[in-house]
Amino acid sequence: MTLKAGSILEGTVVNITSFGAFVDVEGKTGLVHISEVSDTYVKNIRDYLKEKDKVKVKVISIDDNGKISLSIKQAGLDKKSVRPMEIDWQKEKTKQNQGNFEDRLSKFLKDSEERFQDIKKHQDAKGKGYKKSSNY
């Protein structure tokens, strides 16, 4: 089958990055962006794909330079085809049972405060450099 926009083909995952997966289709490599892996939000692509996985992909586009954009979610697959994150329930239970309620509550409050401080720092850093000048 010829590579053209709209084609649905089978490919092999050859490399995984933080922003997507490179898939070999008919001897050419295309990119499945992380936003095109699943219908749900994908934080870590390695929770869904691993190298050498066989996947069905849809060719979204091929630009003038030969870059191929692919999509797994547009290939019309059922949700069982893409692996969801696996959870070790035994490990989760042991996490929950560690310490008494007060210890867990104080840890939660400490973690929440640290996250809040990180968010505040990030927002403060974003605002720098965009101050209104009064020289007009």
Tens-digit pLDDT profile for residues 104-122: 888 889 999 988 888 888 7
What superfamily in CATH does domain 5-75 come from?
A: Nucleic acid-binding proteins (2.40.50.140)
Confidence band (pLDDT; 50, 70, 90) for 102?
confident
Give the contacts of 14 (CB within 8 A, at least 6 positions apart). Answer: 22, 23, 24, 29, 51, 52
- Residue 53 burial class via C-beta count within 10 angstroms: exposed 0-12, middle 13-18, buried 19 and up: middle
Is residue 91 pLDDT above 90, yes or no? no
Q: Which of 15, 11, 45 is CA-nearest to residue 28?
A: 11
In the chain, what are the domain boundaries? 5-75
Q: What is the mean pLDDT of the chain?
A: 80
Tens-digit pLDDT profile for residues 24-46: 998 899 999 999 998 888 889 99
Confidence band (pLDDT; 50, 70, 90) for 94?
low
